[in-house]
Amino acid sequence: MSAESVFPQLEALLPHVQKPIQYVGGELNSTVKPWDECDVRWALMYPDAYEVGLPNQGVMILYEVLNEREGVLAERTYSVWPDLEELMREHKVPQFTVDSHRPVGAFDVFGLSFSTELGYTNMFTALDLAGIPLESKDRTVDHPIVLAGGHAAFNPEPIADFIDCAVIGDGEQAVLEITEIIRAWKAEGRPGGREEVLFRLARTGGVYVPGFYDVEYLPDGRIGRVVPNRSGVPWRVSKHTVMDLDEWPYPKQPLVPLAETVHERMSVEIFRGCTRGCRFCQAGMITRPVRERSITGIGEMVEKGLKATGFEEVGLLSLSSADHTEIGDIAKGLADRYTDDKIGLSLPSTRVDAFNVDLANELTRNGRRSGLTFAPEGGSERMRKVINKMVSEEDLIRTVATAYGNGWRQVKLYFMCGLPTETDEDVLQIGDMAVNVIAKGREVSGQNDIRCTVSIGGFVPKPHTPFQWAPQLSAEDTDARLKKLRDKIRDDKKYGRSIGFRYHDGKPGIVEGLLSRGDRRVGSVIREVYESGGRFDGWREHFSYDLWMKSAEKTLPAFGVDVDWYTTRERTYEEVLPWDHLDSGLDKDWLWEDWQDSLDETEVEDCRWTPCFDCGVCPQLDLDIQIGPTGRKLLPLTVVK
């Protein structure tokens, strides 16, 4: 395929679409390298709209890592809105990159980062617009290698027929290793064609090529086994883990968007991984172990990033940012450094038991004092034991009392509905907790303008977590439970008006559940949805539950299964799960034992501060976790020699 820019054809279409600025490229800190001077070329995609995709840290990091390498080029592409898609089809304009507007089909690798499974139909749109056959078996040596990454790639089976390979875990080192394999194969004249380069990737043990594995099914629909179909391919594929974050201080030159995006700030990942052990949290499980960035490394990244972008806010990102062993020193140091510049600091959310007013004051010293967000997750004490949240209502009330007493007026509380063993009463206690929060806020502040917003999401069991065996609550039961809670809050004459209530209905969660724990048979549903017009399923205004259910009813009966089989059915210990051949580092027996502990309402401590619980990650990676602050400016991990 020609690598010429398609911008002349695209430009004529832009006056006829919404937000045309998102398609023109040229952002501050974007990179355009000479096509002919590079021998490996990547098109990187976050399969969502520009406003969601551009701030994505994962894509931004890989974009820089690849473009720093000599002879390697990386450009970005995002999902086009339906108005432009229609015009592109009409005028035969292919899926393009925003950096130089080259056709995605001309690149060597088309890499997609999936943080959620609801981006799968957008992948189909991009493949089709790019002129790349939807199914991997139909591609030739001249088509890009379609590679999936991101958290959803820890179970890529629903899209196994449509991708060429997947990488699980951290991408920084992985993309460079993949690049060198492709570079060598191309330099040799592409011997053996597409299958040969995929085999070279697969035999590393760190790249999963679904086409090299056969899935055998039992008469009742369960998986019998997943087996390699050629020699030299590993039985299990390992995840990639970057151990020293200070060696990878990316992004150094963060992209500054041209159009409005969901996050407009300079973000620094202050640590990666989490060992709190929340049983519902896939991100915490699959990113183990904890790896902290040093305080000096964080400071250097912030300084360079602010100079490169002009942003006025710094986001300190991680799964639980207040758990960094030196978070107090980090926040105070940055607030001191940027007092005159009025640079604000933010944490995504704060654990109840990690909050302190000194930290909060440092975070808001140079910026505006907005509301605080906490995530108790479970409404009752019992549910928080089931999910291993290890936060009591007493902890929460004490924390919000401190916040309201020090001038905050708004608190947002995040919960989930549909957790394993949950009852109506567990959910109704969310209302009691909100009332207690408002009452305490009024008491300590002496004011009546106290607000508490309750935000509730539906629980979706995820692979590689203790809840991967759990039944999912049906959409109807989820909606009924939330209606009871809504009515309870509305009927409270004294406090109800001070409590905001936001929730998602149960329908998107069922589709996400189908995709998150699905196997290769679910791919037929995704394709049917796409061909029936499904797009942007992560957006409420575009999502169609009925379309997904109709597509499932049309395709799944041929396999003897249905949506409930994938969602509301509980799994047994003996069952082969679709992702068992993908090694997240976690021992499956340990996950099962933790699932049993949850049913017994047994809590498990954070292994950063206690003896090891044998989850399996550390011995496999040959590392050790140091305990607590050392007084030195060092990473909390050292590799065992």
Residue 19 has pLDDT above 70, yes or no: yes
* Amino acid 74: pLDDT: 98
What proportion of the chain, given as a percentage, has pLDDT over 70? 95
- Give the C-alpha separation, 445 to 407, whole Å: 8
* Amino acid 627: pLDDT: 41
Token pair in block for residue 11: 């430009």
* Amino acid 349: pLDDT: 64
Q: What is the pLDDT of residues 189-239, one digit of tens each?
A: 999 999 999 999 999 999 999 999 999 999 999 999 999 999 999 999 999
* Amino acid 404: pLDDT: 87
Residue 286 has pLDDT above 80, yes or no: yes
Alpha-helical regions (H) of 238-337: 282-286, 295-309, 327-337
Token pair in block for residue 52: 């969601």
Compute the average pLDDT of residues 437-454: 92
* Amino acid 635: pLDDT: 32
Q: What is the pLDDT of residues 322-346, one digit of tens each?
A: 889 888 889 888 988 998 888 888 8
* Amino acid 625: pLDDT: 52
Q: In which band, very low, low, confident or very high, does the pLDDT at 40 lie, cut at 50, 70 and 90?
A: very high
Taking CA atoms, 47 is separated from 50, 54, 126, 214, 528, in Å, by 9, 10, 8, 28, 18
Q: What is the pLDDT of residues 302-311, one digit of tens each?
A: 999 999 999 9
- Residue 476 or 406, more confident: 476
Reply yes or no: is the peptide bond before residue 471 cis, omega within 30 of 0. no
Please report the DSSP string for 54-121 in residue order: TT-HHHHHHHHHHHTSTTEEEEEEEPPPHHHHHHHHHHTPPPB-TTT--BGGGSSEEEEE-SSGGGHH
Q: How high does pLDDT run on average in the chain?
A: 92
User: Which of 170-174, 355-359, 615-619 reaches the highest mean pLDDT?
Assistant: 170-174
Closest CA to 510 of 484, 556, 474, 544: 474
Q: CB atoms < 10 A from the CB of 287, how many?
A: 25
Q: What is the pLDDT of residues 529-538, one digit of tens each?
A: 999 999 999 9
- Give the C-alpha separation, 383 to 390, whole Å: 10
Residue 292 has pLDDT above 60, yes or no: yes
* Amino acid 320: pLDDT: 87
* Amino acid 633: pLDDT: 41
User: Which of 311-315, 565-569, 637-641 reaches the highest mean pLDDT?
Assistant: 565-569
* Amino acid 574: pLDDT: 97
Closest CA to 551 of 567, 527, 569: 527
**3 state DSSP class of 210:** helix
Please report the DSSP string for 368-430 in residue order: ----EEEEEESSSHHHHHHTT----HHHHHHHHHHHHHTT--EEEEEEEES-TT--HHHHHHH
Taking CA atoms, 609 is separated from 218, 604, 612, in Å, by 44, 12, 9
- Residue 172 or 326, more confident: 172
Residue 361 has pLDDT above 90, yes or no: no
Compute the average pLDDT of residues 294-314: 93
Token pair in block for residue 365: 């010293």
* Amino acid 76: pLDDT: 98
- Residue 132 or 623, more confident: 132
**3 state DSSP class of 273:** coil
Q: In which band, very low, low, confident or very high, does the pLDDT at 614 lie, cut at 50, 70 and 90?
A: confident
Report the C-alpha dihedral over residues 178, 180, 182, 183, rounded to 10 degrees: 160
Residue 49 has pLDDT above 50, yes or no: yes
Compute the average pLDDT of residues 124-140: 98
Residue 384 sits at φ, ψ, to 5 deg, of: -70, -25
Closest CA to 586 of 303, 286, 364: 286
* Amino acid 139: pLDDT: 98
What proportion of the chain, given as a percentage, has pLDDT over 90? 79
Q: Quote the DSSP letter at residue 570.
A: P
Residue 431 has pLDDT above 80, yes or no: yes
- Residue 187 or 608, more confident: 187
* Amino acid 341: pLDDT: 87
